[in-house]
Structure 1
Amino acid sequence: MLRLVNIHSAYGLVRVLKNVSLHVDGGEIVTLIGANGAGKTTLLRAISGLQPVQEGRIIFDGRDIANTRAEKLVRFGIAQAPEGRQIFRPMTVMENLELGGYLVCRLHGRKQLRRAIGEMFDMFPILRERQDQFAGTLSGGEQQMLAIAMTLMNKPRLLLLDEPSMGLAPLIVREIFEIISRLRKDEGLTVLLVEQNANAALRIADRGYVMETGKIIIQDRADALLENPEVRRAYLGRDKREIWE
């Protein structure tokens, strides 16, 4: 479904992505792990049209989409839930979902918008309970669910998730990752997941890539990466592993 070939990108004179290649097949969950500053978020931004690509190709369903406008990529079926739970905090949960479904409303009308909101409420029942509540008053986990639901409103085929566990308690992290697994199982959604919590990410992923200073340094099946001594030493802490055992 998605293939990156020798991607280079920079902020000004600082080269951030250096000859990055990876692929995500339809129906997979693929995770990208690495330390802060490794280039993970920049890579997602390049895929979603928010960061210029200087060299290389980004192929989605056989089409080179490098440097395509972000709003056009949403129509192609790519959506990103960015880092930091970027919701509209002074607005209600319902209003956030309506904004997330702007495109579906524009193309198919309010009836389809309401149907999509109903599907999100079925998927995230707590949001139905909180639909009239201001988004900024939700718990961190509820805000993350709302951010994901907003991204799903237009029924993407490829979901880009940036640090969905950031700042959340361990039990909430587990719930969020169970939701991601269910989206793949029940909806057939393809997911590219950027995550510092390598234990959680690798336990739900099919494959993984390890990124360091703008380069892919290791790639393998997720279960193999969990047992890789180098990956365990650098990224897999016992404290995080315990919540899954």
Structure 2
Amino acid sequence: MNKIAVIPVRSGSKRLPKKNYKSFNSKNLAQIARDKCLASGIFDKVIISSDDPVFKELINCNEVEFLQRSDNLANDFATTDMVVDFFFDKFPFCESILWVNSVSPLQSIEDIKKCGLQLNMPDVDCVMAVNTLYQHCCIANEPLNFNPNKSFEKTQDLQPIQRYIYSCMGWKRSTYVDNRSRGFKGLFPGKIGLVEVSVLAGMLVKYEEDFILCSKIDQAMGN
């Protein structure tokens, strides 16, 4: 079980209650992520992890397993690094873990595959899915990639912004576990591989309107 995809599925959700239980064009969000991970053909195992054992029903083949998460790893105070620590502890022999977010239902099989294959590269320790934006951007009211005192640049001439979109992220065990054991507090130790994925992958289901919009796009695309 060298390369694992993990699909975290919380039972609770403040902004859109029970979103992981809702039908998204005949499937729930975890089912969609599961099927795309399996279709990518690059994982030895696909793990669905939740605090609610009802999601154990999503096991549909030998390549899929369910991992029960305790309440303290599924509440509003649980941080991502705590959950990743838990995953590596539960799968001590895996080489890498790719976190595939169920709330990105429009990410494609190819999006997931690109992230997983990048994580396999020898010079990469962790990966983040990104969208590259050619837009005028600011941080704390200060221009980031443009000069407001000069002529207004064409967007294609701007220094692009790489926005992390949360659809996928992943880690190699050797680097992650070693750094965490030595007191590293961050989530992305070592060399980060930024993976350009589709714009649709960046459409996350956080609110009711997101769910409706994404489902309509999915229907329009014939999925």
Q: When the two structures are superposed, what TM-score results if normalisation uses the length of structure 1? A: 0.27
RCO greater where, 1 or 2, for CA within 8 Å and sep 6 or more?
1
Q: Which has the higher helix share?
A: 1
